[in-house]
């Protein structure tokens, strides 16, 4: 079974986080959510729109060897915390070094850029490319996969991002089943 780590930083974008987690679990992936040990060290993490979610584990307790992929939800404040958090940055570099999958949506590709693990071809929320680089950026795709780094654009593309991850980690049959059962024909 594939295993994916989803760090939840205070101010995370709720649609992005929950859609990705839900779709991946529907696809048979073992997903663990983790709270950050920054100024709000609690397993109850509040998103950008006041929705509080209970995380499964502390990020400090996480070992990269236990996961096939790390996926970062966006949100402005949430992304700033992912960029600033030492353990998140350390994990991103470890996942890259160990040839594991890395994903980020919305503003969160910034955290990949900060860690030096973003592939050449990528997408992000509009205007975020101004803080990364224009070369290699596209706004023509909902999901970009370059090597083992997957990026996506925002709340409206989060289900499609989750489905693309299921396709890579679990195969086309699992992808098709989840796409059909969630009525996601726009992906």
| Least distance between a second copy and beta carbon 108 (Å) | 15
Nearest alpha-carbon partner for 84 in 47, 115, 59, 129? 115
Nearer to a second copy, 115 or 164 (CB): 164
Is 106 one of the catalytic residues?
A: yes
Using rule CB under 8 A, residue 14 touches a second copy: yes
Beta partners for residue 56, in sequence order: none
Nearest alpha-carbon partner for 149 in 122, 127, 116? 122
Nearest alpha-carbon partner for 71 in 45, 41, 105? 105
Using rule CB under 8 A, residue 147 touches a second copy: no
104 CB burial (10 A radius; 0-12, 13-18, 19+): buried
Which one of residues 81, 113, 114, 153 is an interface residue with a second copy (CB under 8 A)? 153
Nearest alpha-carbon partner for 149 in 72, 48, 76, 81? 72
Number of residues that bind a second copy (CB under 8 A): 32
Only segment of 96-104, 112-120, 152-160, 164-172 that touches a second copy (CB under 8 A): 152-160
Which one of residues 157, 164, 166, 170 is an interface residue with a second copy (CB under 8 A)? 157
Which one of residues 40, 42, 53, 62 is an interface residue with a second copy (CB under 8 A)? 53
Beta partners for residue 30, in sequence order: 3
SS3 138: coil
Q: What residues are annotated to the active site?
A: 106
List residues near a second copy by CB under 8 A. 13-15, 18-19, 21-23, 25-26, 33, 44, 47, 49-54, 125-126, 153-157, 159, 182-186
């Amino acid at each position: 079974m594939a295993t994916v780590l989803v760090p939840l930083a205070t101010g995370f974008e709720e649609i992005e986080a929950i859609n990705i987690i839900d779709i991946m679990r529907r696809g048979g992936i073992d997903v663990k959510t983790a709270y950050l040990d920054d100024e709000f060290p609690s397993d109850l993490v509040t998103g950008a729109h006041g929705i509080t979610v209970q995380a499964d584990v502390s990020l400090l307790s996480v070992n990269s060897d236990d996961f096939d992929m790390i996926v970062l939800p966006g949100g402005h404040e949430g992304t700033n915390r992912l960029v600033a958090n030492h353990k998140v940055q350390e994990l991103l570099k470890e996942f890259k070094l160990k040839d594991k999958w890395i994903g980020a949506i919305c503003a969160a590709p910034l955290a990949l850029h900060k860690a030096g693990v973003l592939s050449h071809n990528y997408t992000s929320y509009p205007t975020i490319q101004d803080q990364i680089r224009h070369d290699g950026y596209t706004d023509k795709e909902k999901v970009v996969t370059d090597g083992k780094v997957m990026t996506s654009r925002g709340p409206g593309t989060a289900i499609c991002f989750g489905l693309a991850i299921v396709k890579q980690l679990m195969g086309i049959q699992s992808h098709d089943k989840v796409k059909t059962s969630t009525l996601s024909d726009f992906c």
